[in-house]
Amino acid sequence: MIDPHHIVLIGFMGSGKTTVGHLVAEKLSWPFVDTDALVVEEAGLSIPDIFATEGEAGFRERESAVLERLAGEAPCVIATGGGIVTQPRNAPLLRSLGFVVWLSASEADIYARVSRNRNRPLLQTPDPRKTIHDLLEQRRPLYESFAHLTIETQGLEPEEIAYGVCESARHYYGAP
């Protein structure tokens, strides 16, 4: 049976899901998991290698399988890959996992955070800034529709965002 009890962070690449997720997990003394890390562990391949050998479709299959498996786990804080919302089949899965928070970041912040990292195959394009812009346009409505709560992260420190996630989750789960 699915018991919705996790805290799930969604948002674009470089929006701070992993950093904030670690902090939230620390505050609640819950385990932290990262769907990208689980996919990599299970595949025994890096994300660029999965994209190169299995294509984006193969990566998405693996990502959905990880989500399904997490439904049966004890409460944890889950950071997801930025494209998890692109698969309609993940909508009921994510919602069934628990409280879903969208960490919304500005295009400029995202670009500043991801521009030196070559581990994101979708951004290995001639004009990554435009790619970020276009993907954000496509995905914004999806993040919005998947999330119970949106946090505009611009100008906030990870600690402040983590505090907001914890307090909202407490409220969502009806804790005193």
Quote the least distance from Cβ 157 to ligand S3P, whole Å.
Answer: 20
Q: What are phi and psi of 78, to 5 degrees?
A: -115, 115
**Identity of the residue, 83 or 164, whose beta carbon is nearer to ligand S3P in the bound complex:** 83
Contact 40, 46 (CB under 8 A): yes
CB of 47 to ligand S3P, least distance (A): 5
Site for ligand S3P in 135-174 (CB under 6 A): none
Distance, in Å, from the CA atom of 150 to the CA atom of 29, rounded to the nearest integer, reads 23
- Binding region for ligand S3P (CB under 6 A) out of 25-33, 105-113, 117-125, 145-153: 117-125
Query: Is 13 one of the binding residues for ligand S3P (CB under 6 A)?
Result: yes
Span of 97-105, 115-123, 146-154, 155-163 interacting with ligand S3P by CB under 6 A:
115-123
DSSP helix/strand/coil, 147: coil
Cα–chain-centroid distance for residue 86? 12
How many other C-beta atoms are found inside a 10 Å radius of the C-beta of residue 40? 16
By beta-carbon proximity to ligand S3P, the closer residue of 2 and 52 is: 52
Compute the distance between CA of residue 103 and CA of residue 156 in angstroms, rounded to an integer: 11
Q: Is 137 buried (19+), middle (13-18) or exposed (0-12) by CB count in 10 A?
A: exposed
37 binds ligand S3P (CB under 6 A): no
List binders of ligand S3P among 63-82 (CB under 6 A).
81-82
Residue 28 vs 123, nearer CB to ligand S3P: 123
Size of the site for ligand S3P (CB under 6 A): 9
Distance of CA 81 to the CA centre of its chain: 4
Q: Among the residues of 47-98, which ranges form H helices? A: 47-70, 90-97
* Residue from the set 16, 24, 36, 45 that interacts with ligand S3P by CB under 6 A: 36
Is 94 a binding residue for ligand S3P by CB under 6 A? The answer is no
Binding site for ligand S3P (CB under 6 A): 13, 36, 47, 81-83, 120-122
